């Protein structure tokens, strides 16, 4: 809660007065806010709360034409998987729940964030974007 929720909330609250009108904010959430599993209750709750903050901030900052959105990655092939102990057997279990049958790439998440912060996305605010290979629709 301290990192995932409070850290993001207080960082956002400190930066809001400093942002130029027309800026874009993207908070990194997680598909765990939508897809729940065993032993993830606190993590899932922190990310769900973060998504709620995105909606409130989007309303509060709309008069300044500042957009606020959340990007929620699912299983992405990064070093964190090895650090949390995901081995080949566990990876196969994860892949079985993904309709696209592959892990995401960090570049795919980054491209969505780049789009949301571009001038092409000025009418998108208060939204959560799942980048999860279809995991949330396959539960």
Active-site residue list: 43
Q: Contact, 66 vs 25, CB < 8 A?
A: yes
Helix spans in 5-132 (H): 8-15, 41-61, 79-83, 88-96, 106-116
Nearest of 11, 26, 31 to residue 111 by alpha carbon: 26
């Amino acid at each position: 809660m301290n990192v995932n929720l409070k850290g993001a909330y207080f960082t956002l609250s400190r930066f809001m007065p400093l942002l130029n009108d027309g800026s874009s904010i993207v908070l990194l959430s997680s598909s765990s806010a939508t897809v729940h599993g065993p032993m993830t209750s606190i993590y899932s709750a922190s990310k769900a709360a973060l998504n709620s903050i995105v909606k409130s901030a989007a309303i509060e900052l709309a008069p300044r034409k500042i957009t606020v959105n959340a990007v929620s990655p699912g299983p992405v092939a990064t070093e964190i998987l090895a650090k949390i102990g995901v081995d080949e057997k566990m990876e196969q279990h994860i892949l079985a729940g993904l309709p696209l049958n592959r892990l995401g790439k960090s570049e795919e998440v980054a491209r969505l964030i780049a789009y949301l912060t571009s001038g092409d996305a000025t009418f998108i605010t208060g939204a959560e974007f799942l980048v999860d290979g279809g995991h949330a629709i396959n539960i």
